[in-house]
Amino acid sequence: MAANALTHTNSSTTVLNLNDGVIYQLVEGSPRGIYGVPFDIVTADTPMRRPRGILLAAQPQARTIEIDLIVHGASRSAIITNLRALRKHLAIDARAGAMGQLTYTSDSTAQRVFRVTPLVDDREDVESWLRSGAAARGWAIVTLRFLALDPTCYNPTAVTPSGALSGTGNVSISCANAGDADAWVTITIGAGGTVATNLKVWDAYGTWLEFNDTVAAAETLVLTLNPQGLAMTHSVDGNWFHKRVSGSGLPVVKNGTNNMTFRGGDAGDNGAIAISFYSTYTSMG
């Protein structure tokens, strides 16, 4: 994509070009809020003179993204129509309480996606913002604000390593996350008549997820481990949340090249493993 390309895809998968140069155009300096790394340092005070406190964690904070947008039109009526189309597009996520995707290509040609929900569509009295006579070409300037509860962003090209279970032995699959942040992962188990018994999977941190049941031949289990759309869906039984072993967590793909490890619970397990994730970054590149 060309530098400064910006699109928003709402939860109904409708794509709106926010910098087509004809109807919508970015104001110089937008988007804002995409280059920083929003972390809050969490400490605990100590009663001793030294140290003054103990570092507990660096806690990620939600990211607010602001976009100043010029909305063009061949007349005042056309400008209002284009403003309405913009609002209608964003209202789908607001009404559904859902998240969309903001995709931006920087001047360095890095393309990244932020998962966002509309925070404010800052249009108060539209008439006061119009820059034209009623029948003349003109424009309005609006400020769009989005909230990214997960402040990371990702390369939109999926990384898709794969493998298969080998009985009760550990099977390691190399996952190359080119970013500098952990990536959420989707894992599909079982295809083409393969079997997985009491599946266990763990990541490079040692976080593991395990089930008490079998994915039989011709069945599949899809694990969507992004907390914003968390799902563990079996092709026959539906929801498998209740089949998790106590203590299970949400494995991730650690930044860099690291293994995800899988293990079956029966000597005959040969379940196919398909992994999908996006290289994930702490900020725009």
Contact 1, 111 (CB under 8 A): yes
- Asked whether residue 161 falls in the same domain as residue 177, the answer is yes
The whole-number pLDDT of residue 282 equals: 95
| Low-confidence residues in the chain, pLDDT < 50 | none
In a domain, 102, yes or no: yes
pLDDT of residue 206: 97
Determine the length of the chain: 285
Claim to verify: residue 92 and residue 174 sit in the same structural domain: no
Whether residue 257 lies inside any domain: the answer is yes
> How many structural domains does the chain have?
2
CATH code of 271's domain: 2.60.120.860
For residue 90, being part of any structural domain is answered with: yes
Q: Which residues contact 279 (CB under 8 A, 6 or more apart)?
A: 154, 155, 157, 159, 176, 177, 178, 179, 183
What is residue 120's predicted lDDT score, i.e. its pLDDT? 58
In 85-217, DSSP assigns E strands to 100-105, 111-122, 138-148, 153-159, 162-164, 171-177, 185-189, 196-197, 200-202, 208-210, 214-215
From 131, 151, 171, the end of a domain falls on 151
User: 104 and 169 share a domain?
Assistant: no
**274 and 179 belong to one structural domain:** yes
The verdict on residue 1 lying in a domain is no
The one-character DSSP state at 211 is B
What pLDDT digit, counting tens, does each position of 70-104 carry?
A: 999 998 889 989 999 999 999 999 889 899 999 99
| Residue 160 confidence (pLDDT) | 98
- Provide the pLDDT for residue 30: 92
- Residue 27 maps to a domain: yes
My answer on whether 67 and 123 are in the same domain is: yes
Domain final residue pick, 125, 151, 177: 151
Whether residue 143 is found in the same domain as residue 170? no
Which two structure tokens, joined as six digits, stand for 175? 């996952």
Tell me the residue range of the domain where 56 lies. 6-151
Cβ–Cβ contacts within 10 Å for residue 220, how many? 19
pLDDT of residue 122: 52
184 and 218 both lie in a single domain: yes
pLDDT for residue 51: 85
Q: What's the confidence (pLDDT) of residue 137?
A: 83
Same domain? 50 vs 124: yes
Average pLDDT over the chain, rounded to an integer: 92
Q: Are residues 125 and 161 in the same domain?
A: no
93 neighbors 102 (Cβ within 8 angstroms): no
